Structure 1
Amino acid sequence: MSDVVKPAVPPPATPARALLPLVLPALVIGLGSSLLLAAVSEAAELFKDVLWETLPDAIGIGRWSVGWIMAVLTATGIAVGLVVWKAPGHAGPDPATTGLVDAPLSPRVVPGLLLATGLALAGGVSLGPENPITAANIALAYWLGRRLVPGSSGQVWAALGAAGTVGALFGTPVAAALILTESLAAAPRPQNPAERTPSLWDQLFAPLVAAGAGGVTSKLLGVPSFGLSLPAFDGPRWPDLLAALLVAPVAAVLGLAAVYAFPYVHRAFRMLPHPVLALTLGGVVLGLLGALGGHLTLFKGLDEIGELAADPKGHSAGALVMMTVVKLAAVLVACGSGFRGGRIFPSVFAGAAFGLAVHALVPAVEPSVAVTCGVLGLLLAVTRQGWLSLFTAAVIAPGIGLLPLLCLALLPAWLLVTGRPQMQLDESGAALR
């Protein structure tokens, strides 16, 4: 007798009275997450202006001279090393072991983490603010929520902090929804058959409120987000499809090369007996890389990618390939030596530079196709998050007409990266899969 397939039982509906109490806390957390991001970013920008404009002009040295790049990045390594050494909680865990959304940290760690992040952002280190700011907001939301509402689920407060920050970083709640959807899909299912997981939209309701509040606040405050002045894309042609199917996997292979090198770079810096030594050496190496790749390969890459995209023909293919390799090497050194920061922002720069190099080598490849597919492939290799990679590539695209190409280009790139190591290590230094 054949088995009878029973219809799927729909998830239980959550009454509105259970969701409404979360609206106000979600709005407050989203607003606070955006304000913290804006405050750290603005403080870092002000200090950056002092380091890279006021001081070299006063001394009479070139802003982007080799000597000044070396001096600033070495000094940044020393300063961050002192913070990591002396700050409570050592400014958070080893950044090589952290992802975008992790378990809540102790609130006592947050000041040191933010200080180390701000110094790195201002000093030209090739890391973004995404991981530390998200970790700080999760820690604060978790700590405050558990104290204001005793007995409440800490997971809810952590999700609100993460969603509010991601919404603020990207200027839209869509990115937060996609990232949380991946997290929810990977979450363990209830062991008791009587316990059913609420519907996806019920689980996303409060985080979307937080992400929306964070995104709107960032837009109102003028916090920079992804968005490039790429040439318009009229619509896909057969050559565009072929280019997309080739560029994204090649970019993914390039990203995987960096991923496989990451544990070795990290191990080399961990051989040094003190964080100040490791970070000082990291600053010296970053200075050398900055001198080699030029000033566009410094910093988190958000402003610099705009300069590249504004003039797709302004650099030779060789120069763009050099920028790509230098940027990826700088990410490895920065994260491996202990600088606090995220890997998404600089990876977007590396992917865009690679795409422009493809366009420079083969002018028939549309720059919009090359850049977005380069970003897509590199982010897939570095983050192993399909939705985040696709969304980021779509955000920088000049129009929605590229979305079908990106969806197709993602498939061969994903086949290359799935099951491979990712650019994140466990406590023993081994790469996660």
Structure 2
Amino acid sequence: MSSTTSPSPDPIAVLRSKSYLGLLVLAALIGVPISAVAYYFLALVAALQELFFTTVPEALGSGTAPIWWPFIPLAVAGVFVALAIRYLPGKGGHSPADGFVMGGPPSGRMLPGVVLAALATLSLGVVLGPEAPLLALGAGLGALTVRLVKRDAPPQAQTMMAAAGSFAAISTLLGSPLTGAFLLMEASGLGGVSLGLVLMPGLLAAGIGSLVFIGLDAWTGLGTFSLAITDIPPFEAPNGVQFLWAVVIGLLAVPVGAGIRWLGVALRPHIERRMVLLMPVVGLGIAALAVGYAVISGRNASEVLFSGQNALGPFVANASDYTVGALLLLIVCKGLAYGLALSSFRGGPTFPALFIGAVGGAALSHLPGLPMITGVAMGIGAMSVVMLKLPLTSVLLPTLILAADGLTLMPLVIVAVVVAHVASARFTRRPPGLLAPPPHVPHEERKTHES
């Protein structure tokens, strides 16, 4: 086995090379179709959610969906996702219980399984978000494009175009292309002088992707599917009491997030052994939590179901209508449903964490010295970093989500995120199932190292 390693390329030389300029052109070109695919994927998810949770139950009933209805789509989701994981290549993508994992891009034959598992998860009410499937879809399409254009393209080119495809697919979902850049940078562990070389094609694709999302919204009227909230209460300036609250919220987020993650990781090996039989049972458990919340609180079961992406804005706008008891019940039911979903379904871990953090912050705002919007911002940041382990992204997310007040609230969010991140690393032990996988090594490169 050879112990020699090839020297790292000179970033300036790479930046000036014709091949890198060609990659930038290709990134700009693939940004358009991949962004369009991502846009219509999200539109399809929204349409299927409307079909399965409004149109069909209303047609079968007396004009309104019966309170027990979530049991049906959640059980069906368990069956379809289990079959996709078991019998289609790629196992439906990464397990969300592993956190936000950036592995190698899925091959073309894996993409159908990833898409079908994600569609069943997202459209049938499971408590996971669309960001992980979108990243996998964008990465797979980006790498596939390179292989189609040039079959002998070097592994680095495929990696960069996979990253560009991921950027384009998620360009506006998180509120800004910059958020996607931070997310992928932290999740993949990129760093050093070559960071800009990898990020630049992605940023170019993401910027074009944002324009595609805006243009398709103007053309179709289906929406931009962005998480950013514009209609929020004004916030003037932080004070000392709110900084103390930032410490408290950062500490409180740790046991909540650790408990959710523990539930998902603890259940996963048991469910994987008999997936087709047990995943519908998990779906029924999620439905039972949603129906129980609706019966006890008198509110809609959809607040527990789904990722929370679309519910976050309306919740923040109407947080004053919730009693403390309803907010605490929502945290318990949504948190347990989130943990169950992490154990076996396929989707992203980001949005349920953001929603639970916002609800927790709103609940704490009933105590003295904490304005509601401040608690929401700090709760979003703290829960995000506990679940994702990405501190820069967790600071940026609430800043961009709460667009009108985001910059003013940033110092408080930073304190909450840092406290939660440090406390989570110090006081919680990361289960073996959450250890990040080794960096993806292309097959050709692996054979070289082994020779």
Q: TM-score range by the shorter chain?
A: 0.7 to 0.9
Query: What do residues 403-429 of structure 1 show as CA deviations (whole Å, max 9, x unaligned)?
Result: 12222222222211226455xx7xxx6
* Matching residue within 172, 179, 195 for 1:175: 179
Task: Assess if the C-alpha contact under 8 Å between 2:168 and 2:206 holds in 1.
Answer: yes
Task: Assess if the C-alpha contact under 8 Å between 2:381 and 2:398 holds in 1.
Answer: yes
Residue 61 of structure 1 deviates from its aligned partner by: 5.2
Structure 1 residues 339 and 61, CA gap change in structure 2 (3 angstroms): farther
* Matching residue within 343, 356, 366 for 1:350: 356
SS, match of residue 173 in structure 2: helix
For residues 412 and 238 of structure 2, what CA distance do their matches in structure 1 show?
Answer: 7
Query: What do residues 70-113 of structure 1 show as CA deviations (whole Å, max 9, x unaligned)?
Result: 12211222233333344344433544346353211221121122
Structure 1 residues 242 and 421, CA gap change in structure 2 (3 angstroms): same
Query: What do residues 377-407 of structure 1 show as CA deviations (whole Å, max 9, x unaligned)?
Result: 1111100001111111211223211112222
1:386 partner amino acid: P
Could you say which residue in structure 2 is the equivalent of 1:5?
A: none
Could you say which residue in structure 1 is the equivalent of 2:119?
A: 118
Task: Assess if the C-alpha contact under 8 Å between 1:244 and 1:369 holds in 2.
Answer: no
Could you say which residue in structure 1 is the equivalent of 2:304?
A: 297
Task: Assess if the C-alpha contact under 8 Å between 2:108 and 2:140 holds in 1.
Answer: yes
Structure 1 residues 334 and 183, CA gap change in structure 2 (3 angstroms): closer
2:345 partner amino acid: F
The total of aligned residue pairs comes to: 406
- Is it true that 1:415 corresponds to 2:426 in the alignment? no
For residues 124 and 432 of structure 1, what CA distance do their matches in structure 2 show?
Answer: 28
Residue 375 of structure 1 deviates from its aligned partner by: 0.8
The residue correspondences of 1:64-143 to structure 2 (distance < 5 A) are 65-97=66-98, 99-143=100-144
For residues 279 and 188 of structure 2, what CA distance do their matches in structure 1 show?
Answer: 36
TM-score (norm 2): 0.83
Query: Aligned residues: percent identity?
Result: 26
Unaligned runs of 5+ in 2: 1-9, 218-222, 294-300, 437-451
| Larger mean Cα displacement after TM superposition, 287-296 or 340-349 | 287-296
Task: Assess if the C-alpha contact under 8 Å between 1:262 and 1:332 holds in 2.
Answer: yes
- Is it true that 1:288 corresponds to 2:292 in the alignment? no
Could you say which residue in structure 2 is the equivalent of 1:341?
A: 347
Structure 1 residues 332 and 170, CA gap change in structure 2 (3 angstroms): same
TM-score (norm 1): 0.86
Structure 1 residues 61 and 344, CA gap change in structure 2 (3 angstroms): farther
2:238 partner amino acid: P
Task: Assess if the C-alpha contact under 8 Å between 1:164 and 1:212 holds in 2.
Answer: yes
Could you say which residue in structure 1 is the equivalent of 2:26?
A: 25
The residue correspondences of 1:193-272 to structure 2 (distance < 5 A) are 198-220=193-215, 221=217, 222-228=223-229, 229-271=231-273
Residue 117 of structure 1 deviates from its aligned partner by: 1.2
- Is it true that 1:395 corresponds to 2:400 in the alignment? yes
Could you say which residue in structure 1 is the equivalent of 2:382?
A: 377
Residue 145 of structure 1 deviates from its aligned partner by: 0.7
- RMSD over aligned CA atoms reads 2.4
Query: What do residues 147-188 of structure 1 show as CA deviations (whole Å, max 9, x unaligned)?
Result: 31322322212221222223242242211322344357556x
SS, match of residue 418 in structure 1: helix
SS, match of residue 430 in structure 1: helix
Task: Assess if the C-alpha contact under 8 Å between 1:263 and 1:430 holds in 2.
Answer: yes
Residue 12 of structure 1 deviates from its aligned partner by: 4.2
1:219 partner amino acid: I
Residue 345 of structure 1 deviates from its aligned partner by: 1.0
* Matching residue within 131, 150, 153 for 1:151: 153
For residues 204 and 186 of structure 1, what CA distance do their matches in structure 2 show?
Answer: 9
The residue correspondences of 1:4-83 to structure 2 (distance < 5 A) are 12=12, 14-15=15-16, 17=18, 19-60=20-61, 63=64, 65-83=66-84
Could you say which residue in structure 2 is the equivalent of 1:430?
A: 433
Task: Assess if the C-alpha contact under 8 Å between 1:172 and 1:216 holds in 2.
Answer: no
| Larger mean Cα displacement after TM superposition, 38-47 or 90-99 | 90-99
For residues 185 and 425 of structure 2, what CA distance do their matches in structure 1 show?
Answer: 18
For residues 187 and 312 of structure 2, what CA distance do their matches in structure 1 show?
Answer: 29
Task: Assess if the C-alpha contact under 8 Å between 2:96 and 2:349 holds in 1.
Answer: no
